[in-house]
Chain A
C-alpha cells in the first residue's frame, strides 16, 4: 500500500516535471497553509446594507426555513411545546445535552437528552454560529451536540444566540479555529430543510433529512 503511495507521488512529480520540492519551497507553502487570512477581502460577496440579522432572516425564508425570536434561552422549552402543539405533533423528542439545564418539565415536556436513533419526531440542537451571507446554521459535533439530532427527525429546531451571527462563511472558520479543543469530527453547515429535485426537477422538501427547519433566535435585546 505504501508502494502505491510512493508511486503516485512519483508520478505526480513526473507529471509536474520536477523532483521533490526543496525545503525552502515547502516552508513557503506551509506558511501559506498556516496563514489562513484571506488574501482578497473583495472576494467576499457584498451584503445588503444594514442589519445582518435582517439579512439572515430573509435568507432563512428564501430556503423555506422558519424562525421566531425569543427574549431568553429560558423560553426555549415553551417555544418547543408550542411548536409541537400548533402542528399537532406527538412522539418522542430528543434534545442536545447542552440544553439539559433548561426547565423542560414546566413546559410539559419530558425529552431525552442525547443522540437520536431515528424514532424522534422532533430534535432540538444548538448552533455554534450562523452565517448571514447564506442563511446557514453552523453546528459542531460533540458530547453536547450529537450530529444525529440534525438529520434523523422530521422537525429540527435549532437554538441560535444573536451574538453568534456572523456575516460571511470565512468568519465561521475563524470562530471554529479560535475555540478551545480539537477540530470537531463533524461541522454541519445547514441551510434550510432537506430537499431533492431528483424526480423531474420538482423540488420536494424532506428527502432524507428533516422536513422542516425552525430557528429559535435568542436575543435579549429583541423585545
Chain B
C-alpha cells in the first residue's frame, strides 16, 4: 500500500498555508473547475433526475454486489480475459507483478489509476526490477517529482508551469532534450515526444477503470489525452486494476453515470475518449493486446457495505467535492497525506488506514455541506465525517483536552437555560476583548491557535438564539 503520512496532517497543513506558490496554483485551479462544472450543469435540465437515477443504480448494484461481480467475471472469461481477486493492497501488487513477470516484462506503461496509487503498484513493479512509466501528463509530472497525486483527476494541479519546466529540464536531458522550455505547448510537446517511445517499447500496459460492465465484461476508461488508449492498445498485455465497487449492470446504467462524471469533474459533456475494452484482441485483429487481465481489489471495500459507509461506495471519483471544499482549497491535496484528498479522502482514508493514522482528517472539515451539494451521487459526506468523529470519540482517540472540552460542552448543551446564560456572557466578554476594531489576537487556553499572527473576528455582541428571536418577531 502507498505509504501514508496522514498522521502529519497538522504540520503539513501549516506548511501548505505558508506556501505562496501552492496558494496561487490552487486558486487558479479551483475557479476553473467550479465555473466549468456550473456551466455544464446549467445546460443540463435533466441533472437532478440523472442524479436520482445514478443513486438508484449504484444502490441497486451494491445491494447485489456479489451477484454482479460473478456475472461480470463470467463475461470477462467468456471474452477470453482473466479475472484476479485481491483482498488487500499487497495481494493486488503481487498479482500485477506476477502477470508482468510471466509476460517477461521489462517496461510497463500506466494510464491513470487511483486504485493503482492506493495499492502502490509502481513501487512493487520497480522493486521487481521493471521500469514503470506514468503516461497521463499530470501523473508523469508527479512521477518525475517523486510525489503522490494532490487531486484525483488533476494529479499535478499543485505544480506551476515553472516547476514543470524545471522538472522536464532536469529529467529529459538523458533523451538528448536539453533546451529549457517554458511555454505550455512546448512542454506538452516534449512530454508527448518522450512518452511516445515509451508506449511503443512497453511490454505491459496498466489502466484503471471508471466502470466495469457486468453485461459485456468490458471496462470503461474516461480520458482526454489518449494516453489510456495507447497504454491499453500497444503493449502485448493489458492489465486493468479496479475496486470491486466499480461494477455496474449494463451499458445503459453506465451511460447515466457517464452523463454525470465528466460534467462534475471538468465541466465537459463527455471527455475526448471514452473507451470500452473487452478481452484480448480477436482472431484477425491487427492490433490490441494478446492478453487481458482484470485485478479486482477489495482493500476494505466489503467492510464498508456493513453500515452507513456503504454510501461512500457510490463514489465515481469526479473530484467535485474537493473542488468545492474550502479546506482543500486552502491546504491542497498533499496535506491529507495519502492518495485520496479532500472530503472523499477524509472519509476513505480513515476507513482504509484506520482512524488512528488519519485522526485529523474527519476534523479537517467545516461541515459547510458544499461537498454533499455538488456530489453527483449524493454521498452525504458531512454526515459520514461526523460519524467518523463520533467513532473517534467512542474509541477515545482525540486529545484529552478535546475530549474534556466536548464533555463539558455536552453537559452544558443539555441545560438550555444555563447554556444561554453562559453563551451570552461569553459573547459579551469576547466583544469587550475584541475592542474597537472587533478583532481578537489572543485568548487564554488557545494561545497556539493564534501563533503565527492568526486573527479571530470578535462576536458582534449578540448570541445566535437572541438574534433569531429578535428577527423572528420582526423579520
Which of A190, A192, A208 is most buried by chain B, counting CB atoms within 10 A of its CB?
A208
B91, B214, B218, B224, most chain A CB atoms within 10 A: B224
Whether the pair B226, A209 counts as a contact (CB closer than 8 A) is yes
Residue of B nearest to A18 (CB): B66
**Is B256 within 8 A of A43, CB to CB?**
yes
* A143–B275 touching, CB < 8 Å: no
Question: A193 contacts which chain B residues (CB < 8 A)?
Answer: 272
Contact (Cβ within 8 A) A184 B250? no
**B342, CB-defined interface residue at 8 Å:** no
What mask results when residues 31 to 65 of chain A are scored 1 for a CB within 8 Å of chain B, else 0? 01100111010111110000000000001000100
In the complex the two chains form, is A209's CB within 8 Å of B281's CB?
A: no
B371 part of interface (Cβ distance < 8 Å): no
Of A7-15, A70-78, A99-107, A159-167, which stretch is located at the interface? A7-15
Q: Is the CB of A136 within 8 A of B270?
A: yes
CB-based contact B79/A183 at 8 Å: yes
Total residues of chain A contacting the partner, CB 8 A = 77
Main secondary structure of the interface of A (DSSP, over half): loop
Residues of A near B447 (CB, < 8 A) are: none
- Docked Cα-Cα span, A181 to B26, in Å, equals 49
Q: Is A151 an interface residue (CB 8 A)?
A: yes
> Separation in Å of the B310 CB from the closest CB of chain A?
8
A148-B256 contact given A191-B271, A195-B224, CB 8 Å threshold: no
Interface-located stretch among B154-162, B170-178, B406-414, B415-423: B154-162
Report B211-245 CB contacts with A as 1/0, cut-off 8 Å.
00011101000001111011011100000000010
A-B contact pairs, 29 of them (CB 8 A): A4-B86, A9-B66, A9-B69, A11-B302, A12-B66, A13-B66, A21-B67, A33-B71, A40-B49, A117-B200, A143-B286, A148-B286, A169-B255, A186-B275, A187-B275, A187-B276, A190-B272, A191-B274, A193-B272, A196-B137, A196-B138, A196-B225, A198-B156, A199-B161, A199-B184, A199-B188, A200-B161, A207-B227, A209-B229
**B interface residues with partner A (beta carbon < 8 Å):** 25, 28-29, 32, 44-46, 49-50, 53, 63-71, 79, 84-87, 91, 95, 135-138, 141, 154-157, 160-161, 164, 184-185, 187-189, 191-192, 195-196, 199-200, 214-216, 218, 224-227, 229-230, 232-234, 244, 249-252, 255-256, 258-259, 266, 269-282, 284-288, 296, 298, 302-306, 310
A residues at B contact (CB < 8 Å): 1, 4-5, 7-9, 11-17, 20-21, 25-26, 29-30, 32-33, 36-38, 40, 42-46, 59, 63, 114-115, 117-118, 134, 136, 141-143, 146-148, 150-152, 169-170, 173, 182-202, 204, 206-210
